[in-house]
């Protein structure tokens, strides 16, 4: 039992496709869908099924449905999975020929000017029928995953409209073709990169606004990993590290941002704040040291053993 379509073909287990939920589904939707599937695959719901069908349902639940729910219901694993989806979307934008569209639904979504509407509209009938027949489950998962692959690729383009089916793009706009070639028009490399960076940063700022600095940092670390020579990514990461009191990491990424772009205003501001803090800490340390020495001198005047042997010279 395996799927070789959509995101699965790109070596990514599509947990959303397995559960039959949209990529933007929230925790409540995921749980509701999981419970519905679990009831359908439970032995009590399969009393009239053959032993072979019961075994198939059991394996489907334990090897696919339960692991998918575990990933999508836990915050840390969900964040990591979303990052993986973004990276696959980037890969597909850069190499659209990796995605072969085999269904009319995915071709329609790929060439739609209203990606959200077409995507959700295409999903609804597939989700309704997905677990109605054990024999058709994996085919449905594959079709849904193909839709998901188109969606993550188009999302990275910020909803840019696909070109007309027979239109050929300019030479610097990347490879594109009509529906019969199973690929879609994508943005230029520079535009794609800018949109991807913006999506990472916007997502990080959403988490920052909610006070969840750790998840914001995860987003920005992925941005830096994907775009290591981008000063803005390093500057944003340095700023968020500073806000979370991880000053060493803040200094590292701020320094890197300034090496790439010495006039990056955010990095300049963060460095100034870090320098001010460092001076305060140094002054505080010096004061504490001076206070310690004064205490030591007072003790020496009291005439202890070490005070008598190593004390200062007597005043004349």
**Dist CA 160 CA 96 (whole Å):** 15
Each residue's pLDDT tens digit, 108-137: 998 888 888 999 999 999 999 999 999 999
Last residue of a domain, one of 161, 187, 213: 187
Average pLDDT over residues 151-176: 47
CATH of the domain at 250: 1.25.40.10
Same domain, 162 and 45: yes
Each residue's pLDDT tens digit, 28-72: 999 999 999 999 999 888 888 899 999 999 999 999 999 999 999
pLDDT bracket for residue 241 (50, 70, 90): very high
pLDDT at residue 161, as a whole number: 31
Number of domains in the chain: 2
Give the three-class secondary structure for 50: coil
CATH of the domain at 99: 1.10.287.110
211 DSSP 8-state letter: T
Same domain, 105 and 220: no
Same domain, 26 and 70: yes
Same domain, 102 and 198: no
- Least Cα distance to 109 among 120, 100, 118 occurs for 118
Structural domain harbouring 246: 191-270
Round to the nearest angstrom and report the end-to-end CA distance of the chain.
Answer: 98
Determine, yes or no, domain membership for 182. yes
Cβ(23)–Cβ(101) below 8 Å: no
- Residue 85, pLDDT > 80, answer yes
- Name the average pLDDT for the chain: 81
Same domain, 72 and 196: no
Last residue of a domain, one of 134, 155, 187: 187
Last residue of a domain, one of 155, 187, 219: 187
Determine, yes or no, domain membership for 224. yes
pTM beyond 0.75, yes or no: no
Same domain, 41 and 133: yes
Determine, yes or no, domain membership for 313. no
pLDDT bracket for residue 165 (50, 70, 90): very low
């Amino acid at each position: 039992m395996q799927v070789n379509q959509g995101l699965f073909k790109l070596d990514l287990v599509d947990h959303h496709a397995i559960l039959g939920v949209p990529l933007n589904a929230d925790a409540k939707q995921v749980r509701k869908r999981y419970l519905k599937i679990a009831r359908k695959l439970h032995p009590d719901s399969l009393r009239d099924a053959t032993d072979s069908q019961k075994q198939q349902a059991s394996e489907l639940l334990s090897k696919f449905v339960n692991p998918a729910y575990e990933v999508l219901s836990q915050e840390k694993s969900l964040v990591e999975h979303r990052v993986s989806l973004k990276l696959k979307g980037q890969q597909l934008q850069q190499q659209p020929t990796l995605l072969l569209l085999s269904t009319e639904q995915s071709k329609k979504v790929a060439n739609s000017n209203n990606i959200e509407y077409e995507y959700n509209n295409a999903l609804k009938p597939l989700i309704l029928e997905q677990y109605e027949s054990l024999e058709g489950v994996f085919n449905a998962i594959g079709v849904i995953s193909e839709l998901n692959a188109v969606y993550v690729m188009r999302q990275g383009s910020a909803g840019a409209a696909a070109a007309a089916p027979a239109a050929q793009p300019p030479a610097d706009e990347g490879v594109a073709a009509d529906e019969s070639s199973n690929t879609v028009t994508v943005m230029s490399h520079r535009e794609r990169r800018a949109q991807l960076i913006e999506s990472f940063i916007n997502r990080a700022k959403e988490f920052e606004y909610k006070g969840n600095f750790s998840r914001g940092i995860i987003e920005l670390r992925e941005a830096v990993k994907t775009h290591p020579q981008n000063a803005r990514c390093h500057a944003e990461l340095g700023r968020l590290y500073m806000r979370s009191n991880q000053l060493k990491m803040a200094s590292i990424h701020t320094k890197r941002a300034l090496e790439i772009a010495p006039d990056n205003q955010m990095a300049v501001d963060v460095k100034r704040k870090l320098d001010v803090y460092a001076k305060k800490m140094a002054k505080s340390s010096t004061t504490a040291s001076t206070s310690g020495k004064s205490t030591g001198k007072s003790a020496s005047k009291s005439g202890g053993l070490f005070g008598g042997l190593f004390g200062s010279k007597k005043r004349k």
